């Protein structure tokens, strides 16, 4: 009898455990379904918020009121035809005949004010210029950099790479800044007339060589009394024809 009772009790416990396990599984599924249903409106709300933030109204930025740097080089209320090239925009005609006078239609840049010959303000005008590129201009129409590293008194005469810029009042085709090979033509401030005068009067003491910065030759002439006069005469001829120049390699003034 006792054995039967224990068997019934065990069966009851097993049934209760099985019922509780099934109940927990069902409750877990229900919770996951509830979580899914609740998360959907939240994601929808998040999307709506995101879309609202991205559809914010666009505000157009105000135009800049800063004055361009080129305006400082443009004379106010002057003749439009006399404006520097940086103050205008022209329709370049590269089909013009080289060396002939050509007419170009131009327009002033923003913030630039100019007038015509009747003192009337205008924006569109024409200019006349010779049909040629900037690097073909005369040497007086542009300014180039100087080099102090090359010798001006040499054979053959040395050249150096210079950067040249066209003057403001000159109009031409192409780039206004261009490279060019130039002869060494810088000067250190030595005068040819002074060197020749010293060579004739005090050449026996080496004064001419000292003046030109040639200290070794000057000392040689000083202690040899101008090579007994022979060196003095030779230096007079060499300085007179310009063969002997300053020691730094520059030109005479």
* Domains in the chain: boundaries: 73-129, 140-181, 190-239
Evaluate whether 164 touches 144 at the Cβ level (below 8 Å): yes
pLDDT score of 228 more than 80: yes
- The whole-number average pLDDT for the span 84-97 is 85
C-alpha span between 193 and 170 (Å, rounded): 36
C-alpha span between 22 and 101 (Å, rounded): 105
Question: What percent of the chain shows pLDDT beyond 90?
Answer: 23
Residue 16: its pLDDT value, please?
Answer: 61
Query: What is the pLDDT confidence band of residue 245, given thresholds at 50, 70 and 90?
Result: confident
- The whole-number average pLDDT for the span 116-134 is 89
Residue 230: its pLDDT value, please?
Answer: 92
Evaluate whether 123 touches 94 at the Cβ level (below 8 Å): no
Q: What is the pLDDT of residues 148-187, one digit of tens each?
A: 777 776 667 788 889 999 998 888 888 999 999 988 877 7
C-alpha span between 187 and 241 (Å, rounded): 17
What's the mean pLDDT when you consider all of the chain? 77
Q: Which of 250, 207, 245, 241 lies closest to 226 in space, CA to CA?
A: 207
Which range (6-10, 40-44, 81-85) has the least confidence?
Answer: 40-44
> How many C-beta atoms surround the C-beta of residue 192 within 10 A?
15
- The whole-number average pLDDT for the span 13-23 is 59
Please give the order of strands across the beta sheet that includes 142-144: 142-144, 159-166, 177-183
Query: What is the pLDDT confidence band of residue 13, given thresholds at 50, 70 and 90?
Result: low
Higher pLDDT, 186 or 223: 223
Higher pLDDT, 6 or 151: 151
Q: Which of 138, 135, 137, 189 lies closest to 162 in space, CA to CA?
A: 135
Q: What is the pLDDT of residues 22-76, one digit of tens each?
A: 555 455 554 444 444 444 444 443 444 344 334 444 444 444 567 788 888 888 8
């Amino acid at each position: 009898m006792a054995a039967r009772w224990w068997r019934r009790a065990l069966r009851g416990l097993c049934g209760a455990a099985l019922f509780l396990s099934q109940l927990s599984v069902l409750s877990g599924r229900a919770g996951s379904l509830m979580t899914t249903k609740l998360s959907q409106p939240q994601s929808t709300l998040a999307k709506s918020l995101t879309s609202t933030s991205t559809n914010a109204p666009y505000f157009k930025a105000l135009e800049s009121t800063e004055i361009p740097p080129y305006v400082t080089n443009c004379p106010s209320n002057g003749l439009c035809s006399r404006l520097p090239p940086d103050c205008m925009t022209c329709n370049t005609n590269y089909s013009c005949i080289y060396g002939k006078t050509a007419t170009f239609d131009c327009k002033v840049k923003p913030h630039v004010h100019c007038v015509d010959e009747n003192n009337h303000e205008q924006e569109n005008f024409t200019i006349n210029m010779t049909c040629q590129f900037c690097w073909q201009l005369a040497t007086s129409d542009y300014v180039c950099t100087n080099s102090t590293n090359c010798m001006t008194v040499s054979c053959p005469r040395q050249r150096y790479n210079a950067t040249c810029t066209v003057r403001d009042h000159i109009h031409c085709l192409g780039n206004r800044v261009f490279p060019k090979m130039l002869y060494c033509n810088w000067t250190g401030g030595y005068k040819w007339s002074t060197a020749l005068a010293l060579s004739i009067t005090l050449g026996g003491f080496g004064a001419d060589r000292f003046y030109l910065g040639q200290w070794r030759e000057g000392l040689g002439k000083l202690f040899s009394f101008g090579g007994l006069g022979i060196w003095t005469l030779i230096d007079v001829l060499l300085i007179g024809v310009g063969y002997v120049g300053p020691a730094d390699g520059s030109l005479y003034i």
